[in-house]
Amino acid sequence: AMKCGDQPLRAGPRKYAWDGPDGDDPNVCARDYVHNTFASAKAGFADRSISPAPDAPKGHPDGFRPFAKRTCTRLVRVWAHTYHNLFATFVEQGCHVAANVVFKRFLVFALRFELVDPAELDPIADLVRNLLRPRQASATRRRASSADTTGTSAASGDDQDDESGDGDDQDDE
């Protein structure tokens, strides 16, 4: 039997081909897709014609946005593959909450700056909806609790979600 990393990168029925430079084999296994994703991101961030130096004046080179969109799209595909094929292992290992926190933060950033086509999220639409839905009930409970103990409204951090991403409005304590 093939190991998971030997299989193609896929999320549900969607199979992803590598979209690297001409001459690259588009039919790579998941392990190689992930490796290629991080290698190309590292190379792009090191390339000053694409990514600005930390001490550079404001603004980005013309190639930065297409590079960022391509990298974020590839990362979403890796996340989708991970959630579809490996999430049970994350739960068994007890690291699913941390995975959800990292993915949610990435997702908020990528969507805020329009770095991912929303259609790329289709294979994990339920997860995305769960992670991004407002948690007003939790925020209201925390506000009420904070007001009870301090006599004033809570600080600006009271609207933060529970970061489990499990769709449960209960606080994770």
DSSP the chain: ---GGGSBPEETTEE-----STTS-S--BHHHHHHHHHHHHHHHHH-TTTS--TTSPSS--TTHHHHHHHHHHHHHHHHHHHHHHHHHHHHHHT-HHHHHHHHHHHHHHHHHTT-S-GGGGGGGHHHHHHHHS--HHHHHHHHHHHHHHHSS---GGGGPPPTT-SS--S---
Over the stretch 135-167, which tens digit does the pLDDT of each residue have?
765 555 555 555 554 443 333 333 334 444 444
Is pLDDT of 70 > 90?
yes
Question: What are residue 14's DSSP bridge partners?
Answer: 11
Is pLDDT of 72 > 50?
yes
Confidence of residue 2 (pLDDT cuts 50, 70, 90): low
Predicted local distance difference test score (pLDDT) of residue 140 = 57
Predicted local distance difference test score (pLDDT) of residue 35 = 95
Answer whether 135's CB lies under 8 Å from 162's CB: yes
Predicted local distance difference test score (pLDDT) of residue 108 = 97
Two structure tokens written together for 102: 């990292």
Predicted local distance difference test score (pLDDT) of residue 52 = 86
Is pLDDT of 169 > 50?
no
* 112 or 3: which leads in pLDDT: 112
Predicted local distance difference test score (pLDDT) of residue 118 = 95
Predicted local distance difference test score (pLDDT) of residue 84 = 95
Is pLDDT of 63 > 50?
yes
Burial pattern 131-140, b for ≥16 Cβ within 10 A else e, equals beeebeebbe
Over the stretch 78-132, which tens digit does the pLDDT of each residue have?
999 999 999 999 999 999 999 999 999 999 999 999 999 999 999 999 999 999 9
Confidence of residue 58 (pLDDT cuts 50, 70, 90): confident
Over the stretch 26-44, which tens digit does the pLDDT of each residue have?
999 999 999 999 999 999 9
